[in-house]
Structure 1
Amino acid sequence: MEIEEGYKTIFGIKIYYKLYKTGSNKKLITLHGGPGGSHDYLIPLADLANYGINVLFYDQFGCGRSDDPKDPSDYTVEHGVEELEELRKQVFNDKVVILGHSYGGLLALAYAIKYQHNLKGLIVSSGLSSVPYTVKEMQRLIDELPKEYRDAIRKYDSLKDYKNPEYLRAVNYFYSQHLLRLKEMPEPVKKTLEFLEKRKTYEIMNGPNEFTIIGTIKDYDITDKISKIQVPTLITVGRYDEVTPNVAELIHKNIKGSKLVIFEDSSHMAMWEEREKYLSVVREFIEEVYKE
Structure 2
Amino acid sequence: MNIVVCVKYVPDAQSDRTFSDDKTTDRAGVDGLLSELDEYAVEEALKLVEAGEGEVTVVTIGPDEAAEAVKKALQMGADKGVHISDDAIHGSDAVATSLLLAEAIKKIGQPDLILTGMGSTDGLMNIVPTMVAERLGLPAVTLVSSLEVNGSTVTGRRDGDTASETIEASLPALVSVTDQTNEPRYPSFKGIMAAKKKPVETWSLGDLGVDAGQVGLNNAWVQVESFEARPPREQGQVVTDEGDGGTKLAEFLSTHKFV
Q: TM-score, normalised by structure 1?
A: 0.32
Higher Rg of the two aligned structures: 2
The structure with more helix, counted as a fraction of residues:
1
The structure with more strand, counted as a fraction of residues:
2
